[in-house]
Amino acid sequence: MTASRERLLQQWFRPRPGPLACGLRPAAALYGVLQGLDRRRRERLARRLPQPAVPVVVVGNLVVGGAGKTPTTIALVQLLQQAGWHPGIVSRGYGRRGGAIVAVGPAADPRQVGDEPLLIQRRTGAPVYVGRDRRRAALALLQRHADVDVIVADDGLQHRQLRRDVEVVVFDERGLGNGWLLPAGPLRERCARAPGPRMLVLYNHDRASTAWPGASARRRLGDAVPLAAWLAGSREGAQPLAALRGRPLLALAGIAVPERFFAALQAQGLSIERLALPDHHDYVGPPPWPPGTREIVTTEKDAVKLQRFAAGQATIRVVGLDLLLPDDFSAELLERLARARAREAP
């Protein structure tokens, strides 16, 4: 992460805006006007363009950066699968090369499809398509997978050309930050006084961080799985985190909020040295960790890009994250989708 971006993040998520944020207010006002015009244009387009003939769930957030959208998408897809649905996922594939529509397989190159879509596919086994235009990606997915009966759009809240039946709006402990629009604050769009009628609000934290009513999910770290086994879809050699206590570990995280991963490891009693890398770090070139590093624990989002280091001198273990959805949130989501399916029925 560059020093300028780090400084902006610090300004955005301060309770009270600082001088830098205040100086950017005129730019934020212009952004708000342009964003509102673009939103209305895309919503008009959505009414004219062909849309998926199945219910659509959009997962997203109002602020830039990681609020836990990917773990939420995985948890939602797994919930739907357990309830008898056959979900398909569409995503932009942030950071990938090109914007064409591509199907994501378990052995895909993360540089071509994006690290998060690849992780979602590996965790859920559901069909995943990436494309800059999520509406077209959803139509392509349905054309190839006739059994899919619900679309889940990862990070699609602002992609208004794709119609939606349910919007799952995700917040973390940082809430709305200073409450200002980009670039003076972290908001991608204006925040209304109350969530819209299609919205379900989910907090990836033990308590609400905005004034919007919503449910709180519980985060849980999984076992530490050797990288080679994890990449092969196996849990061979998996160890509970408690087995790693008292050992010198390098904690590696190229995610939006690395400290969240580090703090969770420490809460499990692990002694770690932190190595925070930029979000979506591509791991091109030599290993980013110091020479002589013996044991590493890392996130699943990083693991999809670490295959060439699996046989290296350092032992790399992958620690997954499970998001436990509240029962009332799950029931409400399934009920809304059942109503949407009834409306779609011929």
Question: If you average pLDDT over residues 158-164, what whole number do you get?
Answer: 93
Q: Is the pLDDT of residue 2 over 90?
A: no
DSSP string, 139-194: HHHHHH-TT--EEEEET-TT-TTS--SEEEEEE-TTTTTTSPBTTTSSBSSPPPSS
**If you compute the radius of gyration of the chain from its CA atoms, what whole number of angstroms results?**
20
pLDDT, tens digit, 9 for 90 and up, residues 178-228 = 999 999 999 999 999 999 999 999 999 888 999 999 999 999 999 999 999
- What is the mean pLDDT of the segment spanning 315-331? 97
pLDDT (tens digit per residue) in 97-144: 888 999 999 999 999 999 999 999 999 999 999 999 999 999 999 999
| Model confidence at 8: pLDDT above 60 | yes
> 96 and 47 in contact (C-beta within 8 Å)?
no
Q: Which of 16-30, 278-292, 298-312 has the lowest mean pLDDT?
A: 16-30
pLDDT value for 242: 97
Measured CA to CA, the distance from residue 286 to residue 275 in angstroms comes to 15
Q: What pTM did the predictor assign? A: 0.94
Q: What is the pLDDT of residues 184-195, one digit of tens each?
A: 999 999 999 999
Residue 122 buriedness (CB in 10 A; 0-12 / 13-18 / 19+): buried
Please tell me whether the peptide bond between 183 and the residue prior to it is cis, using omega within 30 degrees of 0.
yes
- pLDDT score recorded for residue 19: 84
How many CB atoms sit inside 10 A of residue 290's CB?
A: 10
The C-alpha atoms of residue 63 and residue 51 are separated, in whole angstroms, by 27
Given a cut of 70, whether residue 40 has pLDDT beyond it is yes
Residue 6: pLDDT band (50, 70, 90) is: low
- β-strand partners of 91: 130, 154
The answer on pLDDT for 1 being more than 50 is no
Q: What residues have CB less than 8 Å from 64, skipping those under 6 apart?
A: 12, 182, 186, 188
Query: For 261-280, what is the mean pLDDT?
Result: 96
Q: Which domains does the chain have, with CATH numbers?
A: 3-216+325-344 (3.40.50.300), 218-323 (no CATH)
pLDDT for the residue numbered 143:
98
Q: What is the mean pLDDT of residues 50-57?
A: 97
Average per-residue pLDDT for the chain: 93
Res 279: pLDDT: 92
